Amino acid sequence: MDPVRIAVVGMGKIARDQHLPAIAGDSGFSLAATVSPHDPGVAGVPHHKSLDALLAEGPPVDAVALCTPPQVRYELAAGALKRGVHVFLEKPPGATLAEVAALEARAERVGASLFAGWHSRFAAGVAPARAWLSDRTVKQVSIIWREDVRVWHPGQAWIWEPGGLGVFDPGINALSIATHILPRPFFLKAATLMLPANRAAPIAADLAFCDTAGAPIHMDLDWRQTGPQSWDIIVETDAGTLKLSRGGAVLTLPSGTTHSEDREYAGLYARFSTLIRTGRSDVDTDPLRLVADAFLRGKREQVEAFEE
CATH code (residue 227)? 3.30.360.10
> Domain range holding 20?
4-120+264-283
Q: Is residue 64 part of a domain?
A: yes
The answer on 187 and 175 residing in a single domain is yes
- Whether 297 and 162 share a structural domain: yes
Tell me: do 100 and 141 sit in the same domain: no
Q: Is 165 left (phi over 0), alpha (psi -120 to 50) or beta?
A: left
What's the pTM value of the predicted model, to 2 decimals?
A: 0.95
Asked whether residue 180 is domain-assigned, the answer is yes
pLDDT for 308 equals 85
C-alpha dihedral (195, 198, 203, 204), degrees to nearest 10:
-30
Q: How many domains does the chain have?
A: 2
Q: Any idea what the CATH number is for the domain that residue 116 is in?
A: 3.40.50.720
- The pLDDT, as a whole number, for residue 266 is 96
- 13, 49, 82, 91: which is the annotated catalytic residue? 91
| Residue 82 designated active-site | no
Cis peptide preceding 228, ω within 30 of 0: no
17 shares its domain with 136: no
Residues 87, 185 within the same domain: no
Query: If the chain, 308 residues long, is cut into consecutive pieces of 10 residues, what is the mean pLDDT of each piece?
Result: 95 94 96 95 95 96 97 97 98 96 98 97 96 97 97 92 95 98 98 97 98 98 96 98 96 88 91 98 98 97 95
- Cα–Cα dist 89/114, whole Å: 8
Question: Are residue 116 and residue 27 in the same domain, yes or no?
Answer: yes
Q: Are residues 185 and 54 in the same domain?
A: no
Q: Give domain status of residue 134, yes or no.
A: yes
Whether residue 308 is contained in a domain is answered as no
Q: Are residues 61 and 143 in the same domain?
A: no
Q: Are 180 and 114 members of one domain?
A: no
| Domain membership flag for residue 128 | yes
Which is it for strands 86-90 and 63-66: parallel, antiparallel or unpaired? parallel
Looking at residue 144, what is its pLDDT? 98
Sequence-separated (6 or more) residues with CB below 8 Å from residue 284: 116, 118, 179
Residue 246 zone, left/alpha/beta (φ > 0; ψ -120 to 50; rest): left
Same domain? For 56 and 158 the reply is: no
Domain match, 13 and 112 both: yes
Q: Identify the burial level of 234 via C-beta atoms within 10 angstroms of its C-beta, where 0-12 means exposed, 13-18 middle and 19 or more buried.
A: middle
Are 21 and 111 within one domain?
A: yes
User: Is 85 a domain residue?
Assistant: yes
154: in domain: yes
Q: Are 240 and 253 in contact (CB under 8 A)?
A: yes
- Alpha carbon 1 to chain centroid distance? 29
Q: Decide if 272 contacts 113 (C-beta within 8 A).
A: yes
